[in-house]
Chain A
Amino acid sequence: MNLFDEPYWQYAEAGELRLQQCVACASFRYPPAPICPECLTEEHDWAALSGQGSLLAWTVFHRQYFPDIPVPYLVGAVVTAEGPILIGNIVGLPAADLTHGMPMSAVFPPSTGSRRLCQWTSRSSLEHRT
């Protein structure tokens, strides 16, 4: 974790998806960074995202790299409605049901490890459940 990550994780603990946003040009920074890569301004807010996005790519891990994360598990890259690409585990549906571009929603399941994580599920499976 770098110097600028801590607020992200504090918001995640509270179930909020917020990213650094430049006060000068409104560009998002992710991962958190010391300065805006678009306009080189330091000042930023932590802006709330809508939690909506679309699925860009995914992979299923079959090799175990972390002792506390059993395989197989699903990791996806989601393009958020606001633009930044976020990585998360895809929960609530199997890899076989995934399609490129499918609408996704952010969810914050109760923490099972050391941190509460922003995860992603398909918007339709979320609507089905509620």
Chain B
Amino acid sequence: MPDPDRLAALRDTVAIVGVGETDYPADYARARRGERYQDAYGYAAIAFRRALNDCGLSRNQIDGLIAGPSLAGERLGEVLGMDVRWADQADAVQAMLKAAMAIHTGVAECVALVYGNDQRTGGTAYGGPNAMGGDRHLAYTYYAPWGLTSQGALYALLANRYLAITGLTERDLGQVALAQRAFAGLNPNAVMREPLTMDDYLAGRYICEPLRLYDYCLVNDGGVALIVTTVERARALNRPAVLLRGIGRSDHNREATSLRPRLEQFYRPAQRQAAEQVYAMAGLGPSDVDVLQVYDSFSIHVPLALEGFGFCADAAKLLNSGDLGPGGRLPVNTSGGHLSGSYMQGWGHQVECVRQLREEAGDRQIPGARTAQYISDVAGKVTSLIYGVRP
């Protein structure tokens, strides 16, 4: 059974001190021109160099390395010229949790979390007979004889039922895309910055009905890196430290391929478990959150997260209130998210939490942001992290 006291002992002991990202719009433009400028390791390395510069640590002070997809840890260490005491591989869901555990146990003191992806120029397939992730999520490929494939189609099935049950409309869902595009317009490092209207959204072609083009994430190249260390070490760096205040995790895989938890429960039991844990550890609740980042491979993730984590009972009202966009009470995906900012598979969302809490987010800065929450639910694998700064 979870011991809240053990978890709470980890609160505010680990800090993010450095962040780095690549130049998403420039790299997207290159890709559109057919140029291959970097591979996944190259993007990762550029982001890592920027994260090091950001925190002021030198490379030889980093003693832990976590390689994110689509990188192999051994090769990443070679590319970055790093020998470390401890190394691991993790997606965004697990990376911060693993880094915190490694630092807490003492196997590493300064951990670099490094992600790179050349999914656009490398032509990663997210649907079809060999869809990425089909080895872990059988449903991405198993129903190929009937033409059912892709994470998007599975969320379209979910949306079909969710809309019918909740009364949420396609127009309501469009508010997610509009709000995030409005934030992207304020972020010079977002890929899609031109304004999006409801008419534009509704005129967008269906990919898998009821999900349209603007309900889907981008597919672009890039890299993200974060440097995480002890709060004591962070203090000595003379940089604003962002503290990890809460961790929630839940992993529901029973009957995953049959889609029962997806279509009958919308993954709510998994979300509830993760929510209880993250809020208990942080000693906070949804009303304390100043900035929310939601893993958004599809727009539908946002209402699911808002309801599943207790921000509202009925997402339609909140989506239409304007509160999720610039100037609203509960700003969501303030960099533009995966839909309009950059599809870095949840890694960019961590960086955005840091930038908002450091008040370095420029035109999209949420004034006085002290608490930022990240929520990720991909196919029943739920994580939430709460970050904060000392008042």
Whether the pair B145, A56 counts as a contact (CB closer than 8 A) is: no
Q: In the complex, are the beta carbons of B128 and A65 less than 8 A apart?
A: yes
Give the distance in Å from the alpha carbon of A117 to the alpha carbon of B128 in the complex: 18
- Give the interface of B toward A (CB within 8 A): 127-129, 138, 142-150, 153, 156-158, 160-161, 164-165, 205-210, 254-255, 257-260, 263-264
Cβ–Cβ contact B208 & A61, under 8 A: yes
Contacts of B160 in A (CB 8 A): 57-59
A95 contacts partner chain B, Cβ-Cβ < 8 Å: yes
Task: List, in ascending order, chain A residues with CB within 8 A of B145's CB.
Answer: 113, 115, 117
A84 to B258 alpha-carbon distance, docked (Å): 7
Q: Is A31 an interface residue (CB 8 A)?
A: yes
A60 and B147 contact, CB distance less than 8 A: no
Q: Which 9 A-B pairs have the closest CB atoms?
A: A59-B156, A60-B209, A57-B161, A65-B127, A69-B147, A62-B206, A57-B157, A85-B258, A65-B128
- Measured CB to CB, the closest approach of chain A to B253, in angstroms, equals 10
Chain A residues within 8 Å of B, Cβ to Cβ: 30-31, 37, 56-63, 65-66, 69, 73, 75, 77, 84-85, 87-89, 95, 100, 113, 115, 117, 119
A93: min CB distance to chain B, Å: 16
With beta carbons under 8 angstroms apart, the residue of B147, B254, B258 that contacts A66 is B147
Q: Which of A66, A77, A84 has the most CB of B within 10 A?
A: A77
Min CB–CB distance B82 → chain A (angstroms): 39
| Residue contact A66 to B129, C-beta cutoff 8 Å | yes
Shortest C-beta distance, A54 to chain B (Å), equals: 12
Residue of A nearest to B216 (CB): A63
What are some 17 contacts across the A-B interface (CB < 8 A)?
A30-B257, A31-B142, A31-B257, A37-B254, A57-B161, A60-B206, A61-B153, A62-B205, A62-B206, A62-B209, A63-B208, A65-B127, A65-B128, A66-B128, A66-B147, A100-B164, A117-B146
Q: Are A30 and B149 in contact (CB under 8 A)?
A: no
B263 touches A85 (CB 8 A): yes
Complex contact A57–B158 (CB within 8 A): yes
